[in-house]
Amino acid sequence: MPKDRAPTRIQKKNRAAILEAALNVFSAHGFRGATVDQIATEAGLSKPNLLYYFPSKEAIHTALLSGLLETWLAPLHDLDADGDPMEEILAYIRRKLEMSRDLPRESRLFANELVQGAPRIHASLSNDLKTLVDEKTAILTQWMDEGKIARLHPHHLIFSIWALTQHYADFDVQVRAILGDEDPFEGAEPFIDTLYRKLLTP
């Protein structure tokens, strides 16, 4: 295992390569379905070499998830109580949809984990995620109280945004099987935009 000092040039490069490869493999096959060998090969390393940088398969997975959770939640974090309600929410939705398009691996990484009961990130959900969501639903509720947007169950409003946007990344195969050549996001963006404009208009 590399020492605890400042990481060398090689350490930086290899750690990054490993996490990149792990993202590919874990998101495509789930934790159990991924093999250390596969990740190592994709990162251009031998298996023992990979295990020189991370002590175990589990450690790679954990590092990936915790490293990406912040990225994943950033758009919600940005929801600003002082902004225009409708524009803030629509901007959030747009960013989430962009993330489904541009970061589908990240989306599927979390989807894999969640579908199987989140055995490895359960704590983060009940703490970090819940805290953030509660904070933001408070803003939504305030906007509803002020009559700026329609009154709805704020938690389910958030869930609906996650569901609608992440669907395109997580169930990409299904979407493409049905749409054929049509670009999913071409139609999804105006559809979802219209949906929330209608829904949120008081």
> Which residues make up the interface to a second copy (CB under 8 A)?
28-33, 108, 111-112, 114-118, 122, 125-126, 129-130, 133-134, 150, 152-153, 155-160, 162-164, 166-168, 170-171, 173-175, 177-179, 187-188, 190-192, 194-195, 198-199
Q: How far apart are CA 127 and CA 134, in angstroms?
A: 11
From the list DNA, a second copy, none, partner contacted by residue 112 (C-beta under 5 to 8 A by kind): a second copy
Phi-psi map region of 66: left, alpha, beta (phi>0 left; psi -120 to 50 alpha) = alpha
Contact 73, 83 (CB under 8 A): no
| Rounded-to-10 torsion of CA 34, 37, 39, 41 | -140
29 vs 47, beta carbon nearer a second copy:
29
Query: In angstroms, how far is CA 61 from the centroid of its own chain?
Result: 14
Where does this chain touch DNA (CB under 7 A) — which range of 55-63, 108-116, 118-126, 179-187? Answer: 55-63
Tell me the window of 2-10, 100-108, 117-125, 173-181 that interacts with DNA (CB under 7 A).
Answer: 2-10
Residue with smaller CB distance to a second copy, 89 or 164? 164
Alpha-carbon distances of 10 from 38, 47, 194, rounded to whole Å:
21, 17, 49
- Residues lying near DNA in the complex (CB under 7 A) are found at 2-3, 5, 8-11, 14, 34-37, 45-49, 51-52, 55-58
